[in-house]
């Protein structure tokens, strides 16, 4: 699912960040004593995550984000 987040760098500069997010998901489990899903894992859990797909300033110019900026934005989105 696509979302947007406004990243405010200074009072004069705002960047709109587009991103996809997906929730954590439990992996498949084996049955235990006849109860489905109560046994040991058959596949690992998916932790979910956030993928930044683009960033534009108020003038519509594309922004290239470095790794530190991407991590900062992903953390801010996760904490919302």
For the stretch 12-44, pLDDT in tens is 788 899 999 989 998 888 888 888 888 888 899
By C-alpha distance, which of 37, 13, 19 is closest to 27?
Answer: 37
pLDDT of 66 > 80? The answer is: yes
pLDDT of 62 > 90? The answer is: yes
Percent of the chain exceeding pLDDT 90 equals 24
For the chain, the structural domain boundaries read 2-78
**Cα distances (Å, whole numbers) of residue 69 to 10, 25, 59, 63, 65:** 14, 27, 20, 11, 6
With beta carbons less than 8 A apart as the criterion, state whether 18 and 36 touch.
Answer: no
* The pLDDT value given to residue 1: 60
């Amino acid at each position: 699912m696509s979302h947007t987040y406004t990243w405010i760098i200074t009072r004069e500069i705002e960047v709109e960040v587009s991103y996809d997010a997906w929730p954590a998901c439990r992996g498949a489990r084996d049955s235990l004593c006849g109860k489905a899903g109560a046994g040991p894992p058959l596949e690992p859990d998916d932790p979910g995550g956030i993928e930044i797909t683009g960033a534009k300033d108020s003038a519509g110019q594309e922004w290239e984000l470095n790794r530190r900026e991407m991590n900062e934005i992903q953390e801010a989105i996760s904490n919302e």
